[in-house]
Amino acid sequence: MKKPMTRTVTMTGALALGLVLAGCSDTGSSATGATGGGGKATVTFWGWAPGYEDAVKAFNDGHPDIQVTYQQVQPGAKGGYQKLLNAVQAGNAPCLAQLGYETLPSFAAQGALQDVARYATAAKDEFQQAAWKAVSLGDAVYGAPVDTGPMALFYNKELFDSLGLKPPATWEEYRTAAEKIHASDPDRYISSPYMDYDYAGLAWQAGAGWFGVDGDSWKVTLNSEANKKVADYWQGLIGKGLISGAPMYDQAWYGGLGDGGIATVVGAVWQAGVIKSGAKDGSGKWAVAPMPQWSAGEAKAGNAGGSSTAVLKGCKTPEAAWKFAHWMSTDRDAYGTLVDKAALYPAAKALLDLPQLTADDPYFGGQKIYKVFAEESAKVDTGWTWGPIMTKTTADLNDGLGRAWAGKGTITDALRAAQEKTVAELNGQGLKVSG
Protein backbone atom coordinates (compact mmCIF):
# COMPACT_ATOMS: atom_id res chain seq x y z
CA MET A 1 0.00 0.00 0.00
CA LYS A 2 0.93 3.61 -0.26
CA LYS A 3 1.04 6.17 0.40
CA PRO A 4 0.60 4.75 -0.12
CA MET A 5 2.49 1.69 -3.42
CA THR A 6 3.41 0.44 -7.39
CA ARG A 7 3.80 -2.69 -7.38
CA THR A 8 6.00 -3.54 -10.29
CA VAL A 9 9.59 -2.50 -10.70
CA THR A 10 12.36 -3.58 -13.02
CA MET A 11 15.83 -3.49 -11.49
CA THR A 12 18.24 -4.55 -14.20
CA GLY A 13 21.54 -3.54 -15.73
CA ALA A 14 21.55 0.16 -15.01
CA LEU A 15 20.63 -0.22 -11.36
CA ALA A 16 23.16 -2.98 -10.93
CA LEU A 17 25.78 -0.63 -12.34
CA GLY A 18 24.55 2.09 -9.98
CA LEU A 19 25.08 -0.18 -7.01
CA VAL A 20 28.62 -0.89 -8.08
CA LEU A 21 29.44 2.76 -8.74
CA ALA A 22 27.99 3.79 -5.41
CA GLY A 23 29.80 1.00 -3.62
CA CYS A 24 26.50 -0.05 -2.13
CA SER A 25 26.43 -3.80 -2.54
CA ASP A 26 25.76 -5.17 0.91
CA THR A 27 25.58 -8.74 2.08
CA GLY A 28 25.08 -7.74 5.68
CA SER A 29 28.07 -8.50 7.85
CA SER A 30 25.67 -8.76 10.76
CA ALA A 31 23.44 -11.24 8.93
CA THR A 32 24.23 -14.05 11.28
CA GLY A 33 20.81 -14.71 12.76
CA ALA A 34 21.85 -13.17 16.06
CA THR A 35 19.34 -13.37 18.86
CA GLY A 36 18.39 -11.13 21.70
CA GLY A 37 18.75 -11.98 25.35
CA GLY A 38 17.67 -15.45 26.40
CA GLY A 39 17.97 -16.86 22.88
CA LYS A 40 14.88 -15.10 21.55
CA ALA A 41 15.37 -13.35 18.21
CA THR A 42 14.19 -9.74 18.22
CA VAL A 43 12.98 -7.79 15.21
CA THR A 44 11.85 -4.18 14.98
CA PHE A 45 9.43 -3.29 12.19
CA TRP A 46 8.48 0.21 11.01
CA GLY A 47 5.38 0.71 8.90
CA TRP A 48 2.10 2.55 8.56
CA ALA A 49 -0.51 0.33 6.91
CA PRO A 50 -3.67 -0.38 8.90
CA GLY A 51 -3.61 -3.98 10.11
CA TYR A 52 0.17 -4.32 10.41
CA GLU A 53 0.07 -3.97 14.18
CA ASP A 54 -2.55 -6.74 14.33
CA ALA A 55 -0.30 -8.97 12.24
CA VAL A 56 2.64 -8.40 14.58
CA LYS A 57 0.56 -9.32 17.62
CA ALA A 58 -0.74 -12.49 15.97
CA PHE A 59 2.77 -13.52 14.92
CA ASN A 60 4.20 -12.94 18.39
CA ASP A 61 1.42 -15.01 19.95
CA GLY A 62 2.29 -17.96 17.72
CA HIS A 63 6.08 -17.65 17.59
CA PRO A 64 7.61 -17.56 21.07
CA ASP A 65 11.12 -17.81 19.60
CA ILE A 66 10.82 -14.45 17.82
CA GLN A 67 9.66 -11.13 19.23
CA VAL A 68 8.62 -8.49 16.70
CA THR A 69 8.15 -4.91 17.87
CA TYR A 70 6.05 -2.69 15.64
CA GLN A 71 6.51 1.07 15.40
CA GLN A 72 4.09 3.14 13.35
CA VAL A 73 5.74 5.90 11.33
CA GLN A 74 4.50 8.48 8.86
CA PRO A 75 3.75 7.10 5.37
CA GLY A 76 6.85 7.04 3.21
CA ALA A 77 6.01 10.06 1.07
CA LYS A 78 5.13 12.05 4.20
CA GLY A 79 8.50 11.59 5.87
CA GLY A 80 8.71 7.89 6.65
CA TYR A 81 11.29 7.12 3.98
CA GLN A 82 13.59 9.92 5.00
CA LYS A 83 13.35 8.79 8.62
CA LEU A 84 14.35 5.29 7.53
CA LEU A 85 17.32 6.52 5.51
CA ASN A 86 18.45 8.69 8.41
CA ALA A 87 18.23 5.69 10.73
CA VAL A 88 20.29 3.53 8.36
CA GLN A 89 22.96 6.20 8.13
CA ALA A 90 23.01 6.56 11.90
CA GLY A 91 23.31 2.79 12.39
CA ASN A 92 20.10 2.46 14.39
CA ALA A 93 17.61 1.39 11.74
CA PRO A 94 14.94 -1.25 12.36
CA CYS A 95 15.35 -4.68 10.82
CA LEU A 96 12.20 -4.35 8.73
CA ALA A 97 10.35 -1.52 7.06
CA GLN A 98 7.33 -1.05 4.84
CA LEU A 99 8.84 0.00 1.53
CA GLY A 100 6.96 0.74 -1.67
CA TYR A 101 8.10 -1.09 -4.77
CA GLU A 102 8.67 2.25 -6.46
CA THR A 103 11.10 3.33 -3.74
CA LEU A 104 12.96 0.06 -3.25
CA PRO A 105 15.44 0.73 -6.11
CA SER A 106 16.38 4.05 -4.51
CA PHE A 107 17.06 2.37 -1.17
CA ALA A 108 19.07 -0.36 -2.91
CA ALA A 109 21.15 2.20 -4.80
CA GLN A 110 21.95 3.94 -1.51
CA GLY A 111 23.06 0.72 0.15
CA ALA A 112 20.22 0.84 2.66
CA LEU A 113 19.01 -2.73 2.14
CA GLN A 114 20.26 -6.15 3.20
CA ASP A 115 20.28 -9.23 0.99
CA VAL A 116 18.29 -12.12 2.51
CA ALA A 117 18.34 -14.39 -0.54
CA ARG A 118 19.80 -17.26 1.51
CA TYR A 119 16.50 -17.40 3.43
CA ALA A 120 14.07 -16.04 0.84
CA THR A 121 14.82 -17.60 -2.54
CA ALA A 122 12.92 -20.80 -1.81
CA ALA A 123 9.71 -18.75 -1.59
CA LYS A 124 10.04 -17.20 -5.06
CA ASP A 125 7.29 -19.24 -6.71
CA GLU A 126 4.82 -18.40 -3.96
CA PHE A 127 4.45 -14.85 -5.28
CA GLN A 128 3.24 -13.24 -8.47
CA GLN A 129 6.18 -12.85 -10.83
CA ALA A 130 6.06 -9.07 -11.07
CA ALA A 131 5.88 -8.73 -7.29
CA TRP A 132 8.92 -10.94 -6.80
CA LYS A 133 10.87 -8.93 -9.37
CA ALA A 134 9.98 -5.86 -7.34
CA VAL A 135 11.97 -7.05 -4.31
CA SER A 136 14.95 -8.62 -6.07
CA LEU A 137 18.00 -7.60 -8.07
CA GLY A 138 19.87 -10.35 -9.81
CA ASP A 139 20.37 -13.05 -7.19
CA ALA A 140 19.78 -10.67 -4.28
CA VAL A 141 16.43 -10.51 -2.48
CA TYR A 142 15.67 -7.55 -0.25
CA GLY A 143 12.37 -8.48 1.36
CA ALA A 144 8.94 -10.05 0.96
CA PRO A 145 6.31 -8.75 -1.47
CA VAL A 146 3.11 -7.78 0.32
CA ASP A 147 0.56 -6.55 -2.18
CA THR A 148 -0.08 -5.28 -5.69
CA GLY A 149 -1.96 -2.14 -6.75
CA PRO A 150 -4.11 -2.58 -9.85
CA MET A 151 -6.15 0.55 -10.55
CA ALA A 152 -9.81 1.02 -11.34
CA LEU A 153 -12.42 3.78 -11.29
CA PHE A 154 -14.12 4.49 -7.96
CA TYR A 155 -17.23 6.52 -8.72
CA ASN A 156 -20.20 7.95 -6.83
CA LYS A 157 -22.90 5.73 -8.30
CA GLU A 158 -25.68 7.61 -6.56
CA LEU A 159 -24.58 10.85 -8.22
CA PHE A 160 -23.97 9.20 -11.59
CA ASP A 161 -27.41 7.58 -11.51
CA SER A 162 -29.09 10.87 -10.60
CA LEU A 163 -27.58 12.48 -13.69
CA GLY A 164 -28.24 9.54 -16.00
CA LEU A 165 -24.54 8.74 -16.32
CA LYS A 166 -22.90 5.36 -16.71
CA PRO A 167 -19.29 4.54 -15.75
CA PRO A 168 -17.22 5.99 -18.63
CA ALA A 169 -15.61 3.36 -20.84
CA THR A 170 -13.17 5.83 -22.43
CA TRP A 171 -11.36 8.97 -21.32
CA GLU A 172 -13.43 10.91 -23.83
CA GLU A 173 -16.57 9.73 -22.05
CA TYR A 174 -14.94 10.64 -18.75
CA ARG A 175 -14.52 14.22 -19.97
CA THR A 176 -18.16 14.33 -21.06
CA ALA A 177 -19.27 13.06 -17.65
CA ALA A 178 -17.08 15.66 -15.98
CA GLU A 179 -18.77 18.46 -17.88
CA LYS A 180 -22.25 17.20 -17.02
CA ILE A 181 -21.39 16.76 -13.34
CA HIS A 182 -19.96 20.27 -13.02
CA ALA A 183 -22.88 21.76 -14.96
CA SER A 184 -25.31 20.18 -12.49
CA ASP A 185 -23.68 22.05 -9.60
CA PRO A 186 -20.65 24.39 -9.68
CA ASP A 187 -19.41 22.78 -6.46
CA ARG A 188 -19.26 19.33 -8.03
CA TYR A 189 -16.11 18.07 -9.73
CA ILE A 190 -15.14 14.90 -11.56
CA SER A 191 -11.90 14.37 -9.66
CA SER A 192 -9.12 15.93 -7.61
CA PRO A 193 -5.37 16.51 -8.16
CA TYR A 194 -3.16 13.45 -8.66
CA MET A 195 0.40 13.54 -7.41
CA ASP A 196 3.49 11.29 -7.43
CA TYR A 197 2.57 7.60 -7.71
CA ASP A 198 -1.14 8.19 -8.21
CA TYR A 199 -0.25 10.29 -11.24
CA ALA A 200 2.28 7.65 -12.31
CA GLY A 201 -0.55 5.14 -12.50
CA LEU A 202 -2.33 7.31 -15.06
CA ALA A 203 0.84 7.41 -17.15
CA TRP A 204 1.40 3.68 -16.66
CA GLN A 205 -1.97 2.80 -18.19
CA ALA A 206 -1.21 4.92 -21.25
CA GLY A 207 2.16 3.24 -21.85
CA ALA A 208 3.90 6.48 -20.89
CA GLY A 209 6.92 5.10 -19.04
CA TRP A 210 9.18 7.27 -16.92
CA PHE A 211 12.40 5.22 -17.03
CA GLY A 212 14.03 2.60 -19.16
CA VAL A 213 17.31 0.73 -19.32
CA ASP A 214 19.68 0.93 -22.28
CA GLY A 215 22.57 -1.46 -21.68
CA ASP A 216 24.37 -0.04 -18.66
CA SER A 217 22.64 3.34 -18.87
CA TRP A 218 19.39 4.82 -17.65
CA LYS A 219 16.87 6.36 -20.01
CA VAL A 220 14.65 9.07 -18.53
CA THR A 221 11.39 9.51 -20.46
CA LEU A 222 9.16 11.66 -18.25
CA ASN A 223 8.94 14.21 -21.06
CA SER A 224 8.05 11.76 -23.83
CA GLU A 225 5.23 12.27 -26.32
CA ALA A 226 3.20 9.57 -24.57
CA ASN A 227 3.57 11.45 -21.29
CA LYS A 228 2.59 14.72 -22.97
CA LYS A 229 -0.60 13.04 -24.21
CA VAL A 230 -1.64 12.17 -20.65
CA ALA A 231 -0.59 15.60 -19.39
CA ASP A 232 -2.54 17.44 -22.07
CA TYR A 233 -5.69 15.47 -21.30
CA TRP A 234 -5.68 16.33 -17.62
CA GLN A 235 -4.58 19.89 -18.38
CA GLY A 236 -7.73 20.22 -20.46
CA LEU A 237 -9.87 19.22 -17.47
CA ILE A 238 -8.05 21.77 -15.33
CA GLY A 239 -8.65 24.46 -17.92
CA LYS A 240 -12.40 23.78 -17.88
CA GLY A 241 -12.55 23.98 -14.09
CA LEU A 242 -13.56 20.34 -13.72
CA ILE A 243 -10.95 19.33 -11.12
CA SER A 244 -11.51 19.94 -7.41
CA GLY A 245 -8.87 21.94 -5.58
CA ALA A 246 -8.99 19.58 -2.59
CA PRO A 247 -5.67 17.69 -2.31
CA MET A 248 -5.94 13.94 -2.04
CA TYR A 249 -5.93 12.68 1.56
CA ASP A 250 -6.80 16.17 2.84
CA GLN A 251 -9.90 16.53 5.03
CA ALA A 252 -11.55 18.57 2.27
CA TRP A 253 -10.99 15.63 -0.09
CA TYR A 254 -12.69 13.20 2.26
CA GLY A 255 -15.52 15.69 2.66
CA GLY A 256 -15.96 15.90 -1.10
CA LEU A 257 -16.06 12.12 -1.42
CA GLY A 258 -18.71 11.96 1.27
CA ASP A 259 -21.04 14.71 0.08
CA GLY A 260 -20.80 14.27 -3.70
CA GLY A 261 -18.48 17.20 -4.31
CA ILE A 262 -15.88 14.86 -5.83
CA ALA A 263 -17.42 12.23 -8.09
CA THR A 264 -14.54 9.85 -8.87
CA VAL A 265 -11.18 8.56 -7.76
CA VAL A 266 -9.01 6.81 -10.32
CA GLY A 267 -7.01 4.77 -7.89
CA ALA A 268 -5.48 1.50 -6.78
CA VAL A 269 -7.29 -1.24 -4.94
CA TRP A 270 -6.00 -0.06 -1.55
CA GLN A 271 -7.85 3.22 -2.10
CA ALA A 272 -11.00 1.33 -1.13
CA GLY A 273 -9.77 1.22 2.45
CA VAL A 274 -8.74 4.90 2.35
CA ILE A 275 -12.14 5.97 1.03
CA LYS A 276 -14.14 3.81 3.43
CA SER A 277 -12.28 4.98 6.52
CA GLY A 278 -12.06 8.65 5.58
CA ALA A 279 -15.38 9.31 3.85
CA LYS A 280 -17.92 7.46 5.96
CA ASP A 281 -20.75 9.67 4.66
CA GLY A 282 -20.27 8.08 1.26
CA SER A 283 -21.25 4.61 2.45
CA GLY A 284 -23.64 2.90 0.05
CA LYS A 285 -23.15 5.58 -2.62
CA TRP A 286 -19.95 4.38 -4.30
CA ALA A 287 -19.09 1.64 -6.77
CA VAL A 288 -16.07 0.41 -8.74
CA ALA A 289 -15.65 0.05 -12.51
CA PRO A 290 -12.70 -0.57 -14.86
CA MET A 291 -10.44 2.35 -15.74
CA PRO A 292 -11.56 4.36 -18.76
CA GLN A 293 -9.56 3.49 -21.88
CA TRP A 294 -7.72 5.74 -24.31
CA SER A 295 -9.30 3.87 -27.23
CA ALA A 296 -12.61 2.05 -27.21
CA GLY A 297 -12.17 -1.68 -26.83
CA GLU A 298 -8.73 -1.55 -25.21
CA ALA A 299 -8.09 -3.41 -21.98
CA LYS A 300 -5.32 -1.65 -20.08
CA ALA A 301 -4.94 -0.71 -16.44
CA GLY A 302 -2.48 1.27 -14.42
CA ASN A 303 -0.84 0.36 -11.14
CA ALA A 304 -0.28 2.57 -8.12
CA GLY A 305 1.29 1.94 -4.76
CA GLY A 306 2.08 -1.42 -3.27
CA SER A 307 4.79 -2.34 -0.88
CA SER A 308 7.21 -4.87 0.45
CA THR A 309 8.46 -5.71 3.89
CA ALA A 310 12.11 -4.93 3.29
CA VAL A 311 15.16 -5.89 5.35
CA LEU A 312 17.35 -2.90 6.12
CA LYS A 313 21.11 -2.75 6.28
CA GLY A 314 22.53 -3.69 9.66
CA CYS A 315 19.74 -6.05 10.72
CA LYS A 316 21.32 -8.49 13.18
CA THR A 317 18.48 -11.03 12.94
CA PRO A 318 17.89 -11.35 9.18
CA GLU A 319 16.58 -14.92 9.28
CA ALA A 320 13.98 -14.02 11.89
CA ALA A 321 13.15 -10.84 9.98
CA TRP A 322 12.52 -12.80 6.80
CA LYS A 323 10.46 -15.38 8.68
CA PHE A 324 8.09 -12.70 9.91
CA ALA A 325 7.97 -10.82 6.60
CA HIS A 326 7.16 -14.02 4.71
CA TRP A 327 4.56 -15.03 7.29
CA MET A 328 2.73 -11.69 7.12
CA SER A 329 2.53 -11.93 3.33
CA THR A 330 1.28 -15.53 3.25
CA ASP A 331 -0.67 -16.26 6.45
CA ARG A 332 -4.37 -16.43 5.54
CA ASP A 333 -5.75 -15.07 8.80
CA ALA A 334 -3.23 -12.25 9.07
CA TYR A 335 -3.68 -11.22 5.46
CA GLY A 336 -7.44 -11.41 5.75
CA THR A 337 -7.15 -8.69 8.39
CA LEU A 338 -5.02 -6.62 6.01
CA VAL A 339 -7.74 -6.90 3.38
CA ASP A 340 -10.40 -5.87 5.89
CA LYS A 341 -8.46 -2.93 7.31
CA ALA A 342 -6.32 -1.69 4.42
CA ALA A 343 -7.94 -3.19 1.29
CA LEU A 344 -4.62 -4.75 0.31
CA TYR A 345 -4.57 -7.10 -2.66
CA PRO A 346 -2.19 -10.03 -2.06
CA ALA A 347 1.01 -10.65 -3.94
CA ALA A 348 0.99 -14.26 -2.73
CA LYS A 349 -0.72 -16.53 -5.24
CA ALA A 350 -2.27 -18.79 -2.62
CA LEU A 351 -4.19 -15.89 -1.06
CA LEU A 352 -6.12 -14.81 -4.14
CA ASP A 353 -9.05 -16.96 -3.02
CA LEU A 354 -9.39 -15.38 0.42
CA PRO A 355 -13.05 -15.09 1.43
CA GLN A 356 -12.55 -11.36 2.02
CA LEU A 357 -11.86 -10.97 -1.70
CA THR A 358 -15.22 -12.45 -2.70
CA ALA A 359 -17.42 -10.77 -0.08
CA ASP A 360 -20.09 -8.16 -0.74
CA ASP A 361 -18.98 -4.72 0.42
CA PRO A 362 -21.80 -2.65 1.97
CA TYR A 363 -19.88 0.61 1.48
CA PHE A 364 -19.88 -0.04 -2.25
CA GLY A 365 -23.57 -0.93 -2.41
CA GLY A 366 -22.97 -4.63 -1.86
CA GLN A 367 -20.65 -4.90 -4.85
CA LYS A 368 -17.92 -7.54 -4.90
CA ILE A 369 -15.28 -4.92 -5.69
CA TYR A 370 -12.28 -7.25 -5.68
CA LYS A 371 -13.70 -9.06 -8.69
CA VAL A 372 -13.12 -5.84 -10.65
CA PHE A 373 -9.57 -5.50 -9.36
CA ALA A 374 -8.79 -9.13 -10.14
CA GLU A 375 -9.77 -8.47 -13.75
CA GLU A 376 -7.84 -5.18 -13.84
CA SER A 377 -4.74 -6.83 -12.41
CA ALA A 378 -4.38 -8.93 -15.55
CA LYS A 379 -4.40 -5.76 -17.68
CA VAL A 380 -1.38 -4.12 -16.02
CA ASP A 381 1.77 -3.90 -18.14
CA THR A 382 4.51 -5.61 -16.12
CA GLY A 383 7.27 -3.86 -18.06
CA TRP A 384 7.10 -0.58 -16.15
CA THR A 385 10.50 0.47 -14.75
CA TRP A 386 11.15 2.65 -11.70
CA GLY A 387 14.28 4.76 -11.55
CA PRO A 388 17.05 4.72 -8.94
CA ILE A 389 16.27 8.11 -7.34
CA MET A 390 12.49 8.04 -7.13
CA THR A 391 12.31 10.00 -3.88
CA LYS A 392 13.95 12.99 -5.57
CA THR A 393 12.23 12.48 -8.90
CA THR A 394 8.78 12.48 -7.34
CA ALA A 395 9.61 15.41 -5.06
CA ASP A 396 10.64 17.46 -8.09
CA LEU A 397 7.61 16.29 -10.06
CA ASN A 398 5.24 17.10 -7.21
CA ASP A 399 6.57 20.65 -7.04
CA GLY A 400 5.47 21.18 -10.61
CA LEU A 401 2.27 19.17 -10.39
CA GLY A 402 1.13 21.15 -7.38
CA ARG A 403 1.47 24.37 -9.33
CA ALA A 404 -0.20 22.87 -12.42
CA TRP A 405 -3.27 21.61 -10.58
CA ALA A 406 -3.57 25.07 -9.00
CA GLY A 407 -3.49 26.72 -12.43
CA LYS A 408 -0.02 28.23 -12.00
CA GLY A 409 1.78 26.18 -14.62
CA THR A 410 1.16 23.10 -16.73
CA ILE A 411 1.58 19.39 -16.17
CA THR A 412 3.85 19.29 -19.21
CA ASP A 413 6.05 21.92 -17.55
CA ALA A 414 6.17 19.75 -14.42
CA LEU A 415 7.27 16.70 -16.41
CA ARG A 416 9.91 18.65 -18.30
CA ALA A 417 11.39 20.10 -15.11
CA ALA A 418 11.39 16.71 -13.37
CA GLN A 419 13.11 15.18 -16.41
CA GLU A 420 15.86 17.79 -16.40
CA LYS A 421 16.45 17.60 -12.65
CA THR A 422 16.47 13.79 -12.66
CA VAL A 423 19.02 13.61 -15.47
CA ALA A 424 21.21 16.17 -13.70
CA GLU A 425 21.06 14.21 -10.45
CA LEU A 426 21.89 10.90 -12.16
CA ASN A 427 24.85 12.52 -13.86
CA GLY A 428 25.93 14.05 -10.56
CA GLN A 429 25.91 10.61 -8.97
CA GLY A 430 28.07 9.19 -11.74
CA LEU A 431 25.31 7.09 -13.29
CA LYS A 432 25.19 6.77 -17.06
CA VAL A 433 22.24 8.34 -18.84
CA SER A 434 21.52 7.63 -22.49
CA GLY A 435 19.75 10.02 -24.84
More confident residue, 185 or 11: 185
Let me know: does 266 contact 153? Beta carbons within 8 Å.
yes
Q: What is the pLDDT of residues 381-423, one digit of tens each?
A: 988 889 999 989 999 999 999 999 999 999 999 999 999 999 9
How confident is the prediction for the chain on average, in pLDDT? 91
- Summarised one tens digit per residue, pLDDT across range 308-367 is 999 999 999 999 999 999 999 999 999 999 999 998 999 999 999 999 999 999 999 999
Structure confidence at residue 16 (pLDDT): 47
Sign of CA dihedral 134, 135, 141, 142: positive
Angle between the N-to-C axes of helices 390-405 and 411-428, in degrees from 0 to 180, rounded to the nearest 10: 160
Tell how strand 136-137 and strand 147-148 pair up: unpaired
Q: Please compute the mean of the pLDDT values over residues 75-87 and round it to a whole number.
A: 91
DSSP state letters, 204-220: HHTT--SEEEETTEEEE
Question: Are the C-beta atoms of 134 and 142 separated by less than 8 Å?
Answer: no
At 38, the pLDDT band (50, 70, 90 cuts) reads low
pLDDT tens per residue, range 111-138? 999 999 999 999 999 998 889 989 998 8
pLDDT tens digits for 271-292?
A: 999 999 999 999 999 999 999 9
Give the strands of the sheet with 264-268, arranged side by side: 264-268, 151-156, 286-289
Q: Please give the pLDDT value at position 129.
A: 86
Note the pLDDT of residue 137.
85
* All domains in the chain, ordered by first residue: 13-149+304-360 (3.40.190.10), 151-303+384-428 (3.40.190.10)
14 pLDDT above the threshold of 70: no
Query: Is residue 156 pLDDT above 90, yes or no?
Result: yes
Amino acid letter, 423: V
Question: For strand 345-346 and strand 264-268, is the pairing parallel, antiparallel, or unpaired?
Answer: unpaired
Alpha-carbon 59 to chain mean position: 25
Q: pLDDT class for 242, splitting at 50, 70, 90?
A: very high
